């Protein structure tokens, strides 16, 4: 069936995995940033998100022939913490996404939060791809910066290839023990039944083109219905934060619909529903992350899917993890106030 190109929203992709498997570094590699280097102890402690415009992804995947025409406007990627104490944030992130990447450290295999993440994905029936990260740590690995992974693997020594093979086989067995069939993505003939593994290095960029292309192709192929833009607002508050000069703001994921400056909104608050008016809609510059301090871009309206900051009066007691509603019609206000507190 022909896809209505005009009307697809960007897929939302959540990155999950055990602490230090390389989730944030993978995103840094794609963005050309160093968010990970700025984190306290190198540990992610909150949800982050980045919007990757389709043009950027095209550039990054051009060596893999762009026969897969990108039909979505971009990809919204949500970074989550892998530390064991942040189960709630992993759950929140995985609850929002259309598709996910489960990051596994090739030197460590499946670890406790890999399995926890896997169970969150299974529970929600979320499609995901496995990034088998840190391949550059295989002993004697020769680096081919940003190369597609098959190109790079082909040029490794016999020793590296055999270490790769036994570690991969081991990890496939570990997944099997979790009830999951997995296979290298370029050997996988039954996507959907068998989960695809993409070997990557967040440090050298090897395998990143493969990961991006597979994510978008898979999303476009299997989720057209889900990714067709809908007017009805679907939005979640991910963080509540005080920002100098703005007061208390909320970081919001917009899954569907459009939010505008001047919209009357209702969010769930500790002391009851908060009814307020959107004063500013702020995003970071393209390819930057919202949680890193910097200059914001101001927008009059934002169309899904996006992650952005909302400044509005009275947000002090807003609760993260709850839905945001727009009051379309004043007569509905009381109903909306009731619904918002059900979260």
Which residues here bind Na ion, judged by CB under 5 A? Answer: 20, 42-43
136 binds ligand GTP per the rule CB under 6 A: yes
133 binds ligand GTP per the rule CB under 6 A: yes
71 binds ligand GTP per the rule CB under 6 A: no
Name which of ligand GTP, Mg ion, Na ion, none residue 61 binds, using a CB cut-off of 5 to 8 Å depending on partner kind: none
The single residue among 11, 16, 22, 23 that binds Mg ion, judged by CB under 5 A, is 23
Nearer to Na ion, 17 or 207 (CB): 17
Write out the binding residues for Mg ion, residues 27-46 only, by CB under 5 A: 44
Nearer to Mg ion, 8 or 208 (CB): 208
CB burial of residue 319 (10 Å; 0-12, 13-18, 19+): middle
Alpha helices in 178-230 (DSSP H): 208-222, 224-227
81 binds ligand GTP per the rule CB under 6 A: yes
56 binds ligand GTP per the rule CB under 6 A: no
Residue by residue, DSSP assigns 302-314 as EESSEEEEEE-TT
Query: CA 206, CA 216: separation in Å to the nearest integer?
Result: 18
Name which of Na ion, Mg ion, ligand GTP, none residue 148 binds, using a CB cut-off of 5 to 8 Å depending on partner kind: none
The single residue among 8, 12, 44, 47 that binds ligand GTP, judged by CB under 6 A, is 44
20 binds ligand GTP per the rule CB under 6 A: yes
How many residues in the chain?
343
CB atoms within 10 A of CB 4: 11
Q: Total residues at the site for ligand GTP (CB under 6 A)? A: 22
Contacts 24+ apart (CB under 8 A), 54-57: 56/286, 56/287, 57/212, 57/213, 57/216
Q: CB under 6 A: which stretch of 78-86, 116-124, 180-188, 321-329 binds ligand GTP?
A: 78-86
165 binds ligand GTP per the rule CB under 6 A: no
Residues 6 or more apart whose Cβ sits within 8 Å of residue 339: 325
Nearest to residue 141, comparing CAs of 201, 211, 186?
A: 201
- Phi/psi of residue 74, nearest 5 degrees: 175, -160
Q: Mark 22-56 as b/e (b = at least 16 C-beta within 10 Å).
A: bbbbbbbbbbebebbeebeeeebebbbbbbbebeb
22 binds ligand GTP per the rule CB under 6 A: yes
Name the residues that contact ligand GTP, by CB under 6 A. 17, 19-25, 36, 42-44, 81-83, 133-134, 136-137, 201-203
Name the residues that contact Mg ion, by CB under 5 A. 23-24, 44
């Amino acid at each position: 069936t022909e896809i209505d190109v005009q009307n697809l929203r960007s897929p939302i992709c959540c990155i999950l995995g055990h602490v230090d498997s390389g989730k944030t570094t993978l995103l840094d590699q794609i963005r050309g940033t160093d968010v990970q280097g700025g984190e306290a102890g190198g540990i992610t402690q909150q949800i982050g998100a980045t919007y990757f415009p389709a043009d950027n992804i095209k550039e990054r995947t051009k060596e893999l022939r762009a026969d897969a025409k990108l039909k979505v406007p971009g990809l919204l990627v949500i970074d989550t913490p892998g530390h064991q104490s942040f189960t709630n944030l992993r759950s929140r992130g995985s609850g929002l996404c259309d598709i996910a990447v489960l990051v596994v450290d090739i030197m460590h295999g499946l670890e406790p939060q890999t399995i926890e993440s896997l169970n969150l994905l299974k529970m929600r029936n979320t499609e995901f791809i496995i990034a088998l990260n840190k391949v550059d740590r295989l002993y004697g690995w020769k680096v081919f910066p940003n190369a597609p992974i098959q190109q790079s693997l082909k040029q490794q020594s016999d020793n590296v290839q055999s270490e790769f093979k036994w570690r991969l086989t081991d990890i496939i067995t570990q997944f099997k023990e979790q009830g999951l069939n997995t296979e290298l993505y370029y050997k996988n003939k039954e996507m959907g039944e068998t989960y695809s593994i993409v070997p990557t290095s967040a440090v050298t960029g090897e395998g990143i083109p493969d990961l991006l292309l597979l994510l978008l192709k898979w999303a476009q192929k299997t989720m057209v219905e889900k990714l067709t833009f809908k007017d009805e607002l679907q939005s979640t508050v991910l963080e509540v934060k005080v920002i100098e000069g703005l007061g208390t703001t909320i970081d919001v994921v917009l899954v569907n619909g459009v939010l505008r400056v001047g919209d009357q909104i209702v969010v769930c608050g500790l002391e009851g529903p908060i009814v307020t008016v959107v004063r500013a809609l702020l995003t970071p510059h393209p390819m930057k992350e919202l949680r890193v301090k910097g200059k914001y871009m101001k927008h009059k309206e934002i169309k899904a899917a996006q992650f952005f900051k909302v400044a509005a009066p009275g947000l002090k007691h807003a609760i993260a993890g709850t839905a945001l509603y727009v009051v379309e019609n004043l007569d509905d206000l009381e109903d909306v106030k009731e619904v918002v507190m059900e979260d």
